[in-house]
Amino acid sequence: MLTALESMAIEIPEVSGHPNREPFHGVLTLVDTPSDKPPAGARGHRVLLTRASAEAALPSLLGMALDYALSLDRHDSRRKVGVITRAEIVGRKLELGGYLFAKDFPEIVEEIARAKRPGNGALGMSFEVADACVADLRASVWTLTQVTFTGAAILRRDKAAYRNTWIALGSW
């Protein structure tokens, strides 16, 4: 079975022991798969991000921020705790990686560290988009045919639209 792979990254110079760069990686969302529940902003509709729209939007993810709310139950685009430097689609997973600002936000680094194993922890991720095009606004599941990623958020997996998302410390 062949698995398609689309990948993009920006190169950030390595600085050994940098106190404010903690690598992270994880699964942001699934493509060609309906969300488990409606995300905020979808007016009660579940969503499906097409592979084609995700591939086209990958460049818009690079350099965008990773945020979180103290309650871990929503997005907070004003609490930027990291930067996304890599994104790729592996099978149906949109995986990403980057750096958390560990010195500035030690509490989120500790929270992620407690999750232990990728995919089994309590934390997940959620994407943030603008300029989304929906194939049919009357459909029960909105198919997103075009998006521009504006960032991502860390939140509890039970609050994420896609429950199979996760985040872990360390590089890919």
pLDDT digits over 73-124, tens only?
999 999 999 999 999 999 999 999 999 999 999 999 999 998 766 656 789 9
Greater confidence, 132 or 15?
132
Mean pLDDT score, 119-134:
90
Beta strands (DSSP E) in the chain are 5-9, 22-30, 46-49, 65-68, 80-90, 93-100, 123-134, 141-156, 166-169
- Amino acid letter at 140? S
Give me the pLDDT at residue 9, please.
79
How many of the other CB atoms lie within 10 Å of CB of 100?
A: 24
| Domains of the chain listed by start with CATH number | 20-169 (3.20.16)
Task: Tell which residue, 127, 104, 112, has the closest CA to residue 167.
Answer: 112
In the block, which residue shows the tokens 């997996």? Answer: 157
Give me the pLDDT at residue 94, please.
98
CA distance 122 to 82: 19
Give me the pLDDT at residue 116, please.
63
pLDDT class of 2 with cuts at 50, 70, 90: very low
DSSP structural state of residue 118: T
In the block, which residue shows the tokens 């600085």? Answer: 15
Residue 24 backbone dihedrals phi, psi, to 5 degrees: -135, 160
Whether residue 20 has pLDDT greater than 90: yes
Please list the residues that pair with 65 across neighbouring strands.
83
pLDDT digits over 142-165, tens only?
999 999 999 999 999 999 999 999
Q: Which two tokens stand for residue 8?
A: 């993009």
Whether residue 28 has pLDDT greater than 70: yes
